Every structure is written in structure tokens, then in C-alpha cells.
Amino acid sequence: MTDLKQRLLKAIGITETAAQVALGHFRNSPDIETKADQSPVTIADKETETAIREGLACAFPGEAIFGEEYGHSGEGQDMWIVDPIDGTRSFITGLPLFGMLLGYLRGNRPQLGIIRMPALGEVYAGGVGIGATCNGDKIGVSGCKKLAKARLFINEGDKIAAEVPEVFAGLVQAGELRRMGSDCYPHALVARGLADAVVDFDLQPYDYLPVSAVVEAAGGIMTDWQGQPLDMGSDGRTLTAATPELHAALIELVNA
């Protein structure tokens, strides 16, 4: 546990430095490229990941890193996983809800996670056995157990509607309060107890593994749509819930 705490403190510092790189480009109309999967990427994504990688190489020499922009480097089963700007579309359009994600995996399972929101001045962090915090203050999930009373985020709603319209039809009638969202921030709000659940879709490991570490450290649950633990091989469809009861209701809804 002491090792994880020390790692988390160093990693928070690394993301703090890298956040200044991202903010230096925010709302400054950076050039946009289109990747093979048709997702956008900017110089801010690349320079921010470089800053994180440099920080990790200094603090944890030789350890493996897997990042969205520059792939895999280093050796060993344990690995840092990086999404330098989670929400590039938000970043491009000047929306301050883009995040920065950094996680640490042992044996293919997340041990530490950081969700930094550079433009909001918020950093959510947590790990196995050490709890979760927002800007250093302890946080925890809500006690919501019933889907009918839940504050529910539907992330990537356009993709869900196109790919599994029957699931989308059920989601837009679920919960007491619904919001359409995207990217990491709704999951951070569950960890903080301000939202109760998130249904997400079409994610990559660097999108969901750092986030899951924070959610679970805050007392919540984050799995795939079948209720299985998340790892590098998960299919990118995720459920985040404050309680086991709410999680079970979400599993039933998306698999109806």
C-alpha cells in the first residue's frame, strides 16, 4: 500500500505538469489531424502525452507505458496507461470538460487511477486500499440503490442509438434524472457522489482502466455490460454504478 501511495503522489505531480502543456493549446485553435479510426488528434494530444511519458520515465525508469498516441514502450507486465486528452472533440470545440487519464496496472488489473480536469482545476485520484480524493479531499459514491431514483449519464448516446437502438430506447426512459454525456467526467461525478451511474460505449483501455480505478477506490463499481471486471481485453462497453443494486439493474437494462 505504501508503494501505491508513493506512486500515486508522484503520478499526480506528473499530470499537474502535463496539464499546463494541454492548457497552453486550449482554445488556441490547434491543427487537427484525423487518425485511422476517424477520431481527431491535435498537437496538444501528442505534446501532452510526451510530457507524461517523460515524467514517468524520470520517476519510474524502464517501466512499461501504453498511451493513446504513441502506443507501447518499456518492458514488464506492470504498466502505466495514458490518455493525454480524454475528449479531444471537447478540447477542439473549447468545452472545458476534456480530461487527462493516467492509470497503473498490475497483472492486467488497474491499481491506481487519476482523472485530471485541467480546465476545471480538479483532479480525482484513487487506488486499491487507499480510497479516492478530489483535490486532496476524500470522496465517495452515493448510496443510490434504485435505478428509478438514479442520476444517470448516458455517454456516447449517438453511438448507442446507432448500434443498439433498443438499449438506447430503454436508457432514455431510465433513472430519475438523465443527462447525455461523453468522456471521463461523468464517471468522476459518480466517484464524487454527485451522479449515480454511467452507461458508456466504444471505449479503449486507456479510456476506462484509469477511470475504473478511481470509481472503485471511491466505493463504486465499474464493469463491462456483462458485469465482468475490466481489463485490457474488454470490449469497451462499460457500466459505472454507485452500488451493487444499481449495477445489477443496469446489467438487466442493457441486456434486456
The two beta strands, 137-139 and 151-155, are: unpaired
**How many whole angstroms separate alpha carbon 6 and alpha carbon 63?**
15
Write out pLDDT tens, residues 2-52.
Answer: 699 999 999 999 999 999 999 999 998 766 676 656 566 788 899 999 999
List per-residue pLDDT tens for the chain, 256 residues long: 569 999 999 999 999 999 999 999 999 876 667 665 656 678 889 999 999 999 999 999 999 999 999 999 988 778 999 999 999 999 999 999 999 999 999 988 999 999 999 999 999 999 999 999 999 999 999 999 999 999 999 999 999 999 999 999 999 999 999 999 999 999 999 999 999 999 999 999 999 999 999 999 999 999 999 999 999 999 999 999 999 999 999 999 999 8
**How many whole angstroms separate alpha carbon 18 and alpha carbon 67?**
14
Q: What is the DSSP string of 49-86?
A: HHHHHHHHHHHSTTEEEEETTTEEESEEEEEEEEEEEE
What's the farthest any 2 CA atoms get from each other in the chain? Answer: 50
Write out pLDDT tens, residues 214-233.
Answer: 999 999 999 999 999 999 99
**How many whole angstroms separate alpha carbon 230 and alpha carbon 228?**
6
**How many whole angstroms separate alpha carbon 207 and alpha carbon 104?**
13
Among candidates 55, 110, 68, which has minimal Cα distance to 222? 110
Which three three-digit cell numbers place residue 104? 497503473
Q: Where are the alpha helices (DSSP H) in 93-220?
A: 157-163, 165-171, 185-192, 205-217
